[in-house]
């Protein structure tokens, strides 16, 4: 497998930085967009060698499509989990059964495992405590199933299918 060219890595880094700039500033004002591209171009000069994704060679339309689908799906899951947590706080009769569970992942890449761990952690009611090999230790606010298979299905099942395609 050949290494991606420095130019591809640089372009990819600029794209990632610029998209991040747009998301962080949450504006489409022309002056902000111009400053964002200038900052992205300058920062990428010193950082493109450190970006772990080697340029654009892993990028495909299928992966992009799954990412585009995953983002709103993930945000919807976060909204649902927020409502669940709010209901548990506001209705004391709503049970909580906190505990630690181990879940299994079929993801092979470190970036895929990181995305899964972050997806779990950023969803209210779950918190990834540790990742080792293909296992994740998760604190769960309402443990529905303590078995690895059951917990994996309940916690990871929503995200892992998308992430397998996105991260390979």
The three-state DSSP-derived secondary structure of 100-154 is EEEEECCCCCHHHHHHHHHHHHCCCCEEEEEEECCEEEEEECECCCCCHHHHHHH
**Lowest mean pLDDT, pick from 2-16, 23-37, 81-95, 107-121:** 2-16
72 has a pLDDT exceeding 90:
yes
Q: Hey, is 99 helix, strand or coil?
A: strand
Span of 25-29, 46-50, 147-151 with lowest mean pLDDT: 46-50
Predicted local confidence at residue 67, as pLDDT: 87
Q: How many CB atoms lie within 10 A of CB 95?
A: 8
- Residue 3 scores a pLDDT above 90: no
Q: Domain residues of the chain, as ranges? A: 6-50, 61-167
- Does 59 score more than 80 pLDDT? no
Nearest-angstrom CA–CA distance, 37 and 41:
6
Q: Indicate the average pLDDT of the chain.
A: 87
Q: How many CA atoms lie within 13 A of 41 on its CB side?
A: 6
């Amino acid at each position: 497998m050949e290494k991606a060219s420095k130019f591809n890595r640089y372009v990819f880094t600029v794209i990632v930085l610029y998209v991040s700039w747009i998301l962080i500033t949450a504006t489409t004002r022309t002056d902000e967009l111009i400053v964002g591209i200038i900052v992205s171009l300058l920062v990428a000069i010193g950082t493109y060698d450190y970006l772990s994704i080697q340029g654009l060679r892993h990028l495909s339309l299928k992966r992009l499509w799954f990412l585009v689908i995953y983002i709103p799906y993930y945000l919807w899951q976060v909204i649902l989990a927020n409502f669940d947590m709010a209901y548990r706080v506001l209705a004391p009769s709503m049970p909580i059964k906190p505990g630690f569970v181990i879940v299994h992942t079929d993801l092979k890449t470190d970036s895929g495992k990181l995305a899964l761990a972050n997806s779990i952690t950023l969803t209210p009611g779950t918190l990834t405590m540790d990742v080792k090999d293909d296992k994740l230790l998760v604190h769960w606010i309402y443990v529905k199933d303590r078995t690895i298979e059951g917990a994996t299905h309940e916690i990871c099942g929503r995200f892992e299918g998308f992430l397998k395609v996105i991260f390979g």
